[in-house]
Structure 1
Amino acid sequence: MDSIHEVVTEINSILWGPVMLFLLLGTGVIFTFKLKFIQIRKLKKAFKESFSNVFGKKYKADEDGMSSFQALSTAIAAQVGTGNLAGVATAIAAGGPGAIFWMWISGFFGMGTIFAEAILAQVFKKREGGTVVGGPAYYIRDGLKNKYLAGFFSVAIILALGFMGNMVQSNSVGEAVSVAFGIPSLAVGIVVAIIVGMIIIGGIGRIASFTERIVPFMAVIYIVGSLVVVSLNWDSILPSLRMIIYGAFNPQAATGGIIGVTVKEAFRYGIARGLFSNEAGMGSTPHAHAVAKVKHPGQQGLVAMMGVVIDTGVVCTLTAMVILTTGVFETGLSGAALTQAGFVEGFGGFGAYFIAVCLFFFALSTIIGWYYFGESNVRYLFGIKGLMPYRIIVLACIVIGTVMRVEIVWELADAFNGLMVIPNLIALLGMVSLVVKVVNDFEDSFEKGKKSVYINKEI
């Protein structure tokens, strides 16, 4: 087992080296310039498209798809997970406070990438087995005209997110709840599996209903808790922001040499953790955005950008501010333990319980989101007959994940994440001109009430 772990670790050092990071960031830069900084020009419009009907008529998701907000909630369910707590802390521990600046940069350009992903997912969505489906496998097959690359992507995402990724998530929540409340990890895993089973058995309708309720709830709870801790340390807010800005270019000056990191490390960990957290370019969230019921693909492209704003701009930033304003970044801790230390510093003993509860909901929502993304690809490869075996394996992985050492699972999940990114980026870069055409049609025709070429029709 150790030899397998070493081999997979070596593969990841290549997969997730500088080349991959620059490819992911570079794709975002290309779309940002090609689309004339759409994340700035259309930010107000994106907010309106995302939240204008939140308190209006409720839509029930069915085989025809889900509402735009339900699609956003499902995407955010996957984006906002344990990585927002552990990933940010790891970035600060390994790259210093300056890593957060580069995380913001990755989020900014990632908005361009995720916009393009949502556009292509909408353009190439299909109805199969009576259900509307879509995602990278479909736009790789039908847009890039490469069914082999599409099949490769589908296998990689099923393994990366549906199986191994969900083992990692359940392990994180099992450990956190066990430490905070003394509940055996196995019991936590069984409870999580039962809850997940009750949700996924109801299909897309129940999944969408769950995410549109739980995602706003968990986000508000965590945001309010973080704001309380930061406000209790209000005098450290400006110094913390200075550390972030200075640390991006001169880490030693920002911290007085407390954290011995370089600009290279700040850049690397900030970019990497930012991209891993918001998932821009990874090919996961397009599965949710593909089935949104919108009149024009451009509308869902704008909504998709808000997922990055919430994930990186709000949740990740608040996690960073909790760690920096409380001063716990100097303790030598890393991962979720560092974030937990920040909340304990702010809330006392209650902080440990607060993080355990947040981790539970974050992990649960991510499991549901990743399950759905995997299901979309099971449908693509095997049709409806593949769903029941897939569901059984996912639930088994949830339980198993809580009671095992997951170092090898983490590495395998990272490896397949890397493998699924490659075909997705090839497709995105291969269809830049198509994305530009759709956006021009959206801005020049649809928004002005003129006849639109890319208007969504019944499928």
Structure 2
Amino acid sequence: MGEINDFLSLIDSYIGSSIWFPYVLLGTGLFFTIYLKFPQIRYFRFALRVVSGKYDKADNEGDTNHFQALTTALSGTVGTGNIAGVALAVHIGGPAAVFWMLMTAALGMCTKFVEVTLSHKYREKAEDGSMAGGPMYYMKNKLNMKWLAGIFAFATILSSFGTGSLPQINSISASLNATFGLNEMLVGGVLAVLLGLVIIGGIKRIAAVTSRLVPAMAFIYLVGALAVILYNYDNIIPSFISIFADLFTGSAATGGFLGASIAFAFNKGVGRGLFSNEAGQGSAPIAHAAAKANQPVSEGLVAILEPFIDTIFICTLTALVLLSSGVWTEKLQNKFDYVDMQILAESYTDKTGEGKIMLANHISEVATLPLFNGNLKVVDGVIQNDISIINARSLAEKVVVKRDLIPITEEIKIVNGKPNDTSLSFEGLSLVHSAPLTAEAFTRSYFGKYGQYIVSIGLLLFAFSTAISWSYYGGRAMTYLLGSKSVVYYRIVYVIAFFIASFADTTVIWTLSGITIALMTLPNLFGILMLRKDMKQTVADYWDKFKKDWPDESTPE
């Protein structure tokens, strides 16, 4: 798995995790924000009126109403990115990463307005009678770039696994295993069956489920998060300060956290922000294309609300939970993932300034330390060699080596810092990330240890709803490429992959997710930039028509 992750990381380093990708994403959002004169601010209150159904007409063509389209799209974005993704960003980039997540959302509100409007404008009726839309349709019908539409549709299918299926069930099973001790394969099997029962009904059943699920899960999560933040009220202001204090200097080392550079905070903040709200990725427009709306802009206005709810509201809650509780700097007892673990050739300390710098440079790949090669002597689970182990970007302590839950006494072969025998488990104190970190943070509240149950339940609902929505996105892409009859085969593979990912390696799945996001985002950003004049004229035409249809209504224009 380590070799696979290294290969995927190499690919990702040239696209999603590259230096230029965040600039392209934020740059596009900034361009449209200025070009369209800050629509995410000017139209925000009006968007609330639109989503309430105030301007709906009975003869509008489509499969869902505005609210159902919004909740379906939200169910596709409110998922592991809000719980596990925020924790991963803070773990890697420190508090400053949160700022870049918020910036991505603020600009993403405009990007989503544009992509949803254009996708709705150029949607089609599929051969089965349902409405089919998304970036691939404006690429084909307006740009006349069928080749680009094909690339986007193929990338959407890949991303339905890399974003919507694999990381979602992986986070669910890991969280339920850590909290309730449930077998990961059993969790995956049960949820895979439920997933299949929901998605077989198509967009109408999906919309019916998500329109009830999204408000319920948001309320549960809000109560749990506020219980942590208010319990640690002394840390609320320091938490806000930490988000901005290290913005241009990088996050300093504190506790078990060895520090993070500006580049790490920026890259991971933008990357996790995109994973959370998907603005610019082109996924949400596929759900919104099914909405009943007489004007494409009205659906684009509804989409403005998504990044605000998903990232600015829910992700900020998670960030404040992590920062105010302080768990992101604490070493906790955990079982090490082989991908996250490295055995160093010598012994190091994080108790001195010099030691912290050496270790920080190593995990940031500025100046790497030599890895151990040879045999480790282990007695009653305790390593006898004078070495150090890095796990989850921190120096591990009190490490015990086990096989089948029993501490071993033997010599084990290590090659390039990794054990050859994958049946061994390494356990000890180190930083943790993703869902387990958020779960631990939720225990530092008025609910005590029961707080982790809120994360597990919230993650179950969030991630499961995301998997539901992404099955629809992938199905629409299959419809575009191979026709409606191909969707049933896609759904079968989707459910099987969903099950397998429940017990696969976490880090590999997150790396794969980063690649598939970038493969969707880049063609979509190119397309909407090409249609910038079309977008501006479409908005102008909308307000002209609105003033004629609703002369007594005030407008933000």
Matched, 1:272 2:271: yes
Quote the residue 1:454 is aligned against: none
Quote the residue 2:8 is aligned against: 8
Residues 380-459 of structure 1: matches in 2 within 5 Å? 380-449=480-549
Matched, 1:314 2:413: no
1:183-211 CA-partner distances (Å, limit 9, x unpaired): 21121112111211111122221111001
The 1:58/1:361 distance shift into structure 2, 3 A limit, reads farther
Structure 2 counterpart of 1:449, one-letter code: D
Q: Is the 8 A contact 2:95 2:251 kept in 1?
A: no
What is the CA–CA distance in structure 1 between the aligned matches of 2:177 and 2:2, rounded to whole Å?
27
More strand by share: 2
What is the CA–CA distance in structure 2 between the aligned matches of 1:58 and 1:177, rounded to whole Å?
42
The one of 111, 117, 120 aligned to 1:119: 117
More helix by share: 1
Structure 2 counterpart of 1:337, one-letter code: P
Displacement of 1:59: 12
Q: Is the 8 A contact 2:53 2:66 kept in 1?
A: no
Structure 2 counterpart of 1:86, one-letter code: A
Q: Is the 8 A contact 1:165 1:410 kept in 2?
A: no
The 1:158/1:292 distance shift into structure 2, 3 A limit, reads same
Displacement of 1:250: 4.1
Residues 19-30 of structure 1: matches in 2 within 5 Å? 19-30=20-31
What is the CA–CA distance in structure 1 between the aligned matches of 2:543 and 2:210, rounded to whole Å?
30
Residues 64-103 of structure 1: matches in 2 within 5 Å? 64-103=62-101
Displacement of 1:3: 4.4
The 1:253/1:384 distance shift into structure 2, 3 A limit, reads closer
Displacement of 1:95: 1.7
Q: Is the 8 A contact 1:111 1:280 kept in 2?
A: yes
What is the CA–CA distance in structure 1 between the aligned matches of 2:162 and 2:310, rounded to whole Å?
23
Q: Is the 8 A contact 1:240 1:325 kept in 2?
A: yes
- TM-score (structure 2 length as normaliser): 0.76
Structure 1 counterpart of 2:73, one-letter code: A
Displacement of 1:165: 4.2
Aligned residues: 447
Structure 1 counterpart of 2:20, one-letter code: V
Q: Is the 8 A contact 2:63 2:292 kept in 1?
A: yes
Unaligned runs of 5+ in 1: 452-459
Displacement of 1:289: 1.1
1:261-293 CA-partner distances (Å, limit 9, x unpaired): 233332222222112211011111110111111
Identity among equivalent positions (%) equals 41
1:58-81 CA-partner distances (Å, limit 9, x unpaired): 999x99321011010011001110
What is the CA–CA distance in structure 2 between the aligned matches of 1:258 and 1:9, rounded to whole Å?
23
1:124-180 CA-partner distances (Å, limit 9, x unpaired): 011011111100111111121111111111111112214774122112111211222
- TM-score (structure 1 length as normaliser): 0.91
Residues 17-416 of structure 1: matches in 2 within 5 Å? 17-51=18-52, 64-129=62-127, 130-162=129-161, 165-251=164-250, 260-331=259-330, 332-346=431-445, 347-416=447-516
What is the CA–CA distance in structure 1 between the aligned matches of 2:517 and 2:436, rounded to whole Å?
24
What secondary structure is seen at the aligned counterpart in 1 of 2:242? helix
Q: Is the 8 A contact 1:246 1:253 kept in 2?
A: no
What secondary structure is seen at the aligned counterpart in 1 of 2:241? helix
The 1:294/1:438 distance shift into structure 2, 3 A limit, reads same
What secondary structure is seen at the aligned counterpart in 2 of 1:261? coil
The 1:436/1:352 distance shift into structure 2, 3 A limit, reads same
Q: What RMSD over aligned residues (CA atoms) do the two structures have, in Å?
A: 2.5
Displacement of 1:435: 0.8
The 1:8/1:327 distance shift into structure 2, 3 A limit, reads closer
The 1:186/1:421 distance shift into structure 2, 3 A limit, reads same
Q: Is the 8 A contact 1:50 1:306 kept in 2?
A: no
The 1:175/1:253 distance shift into structure 2, 3 A limit, reads closer
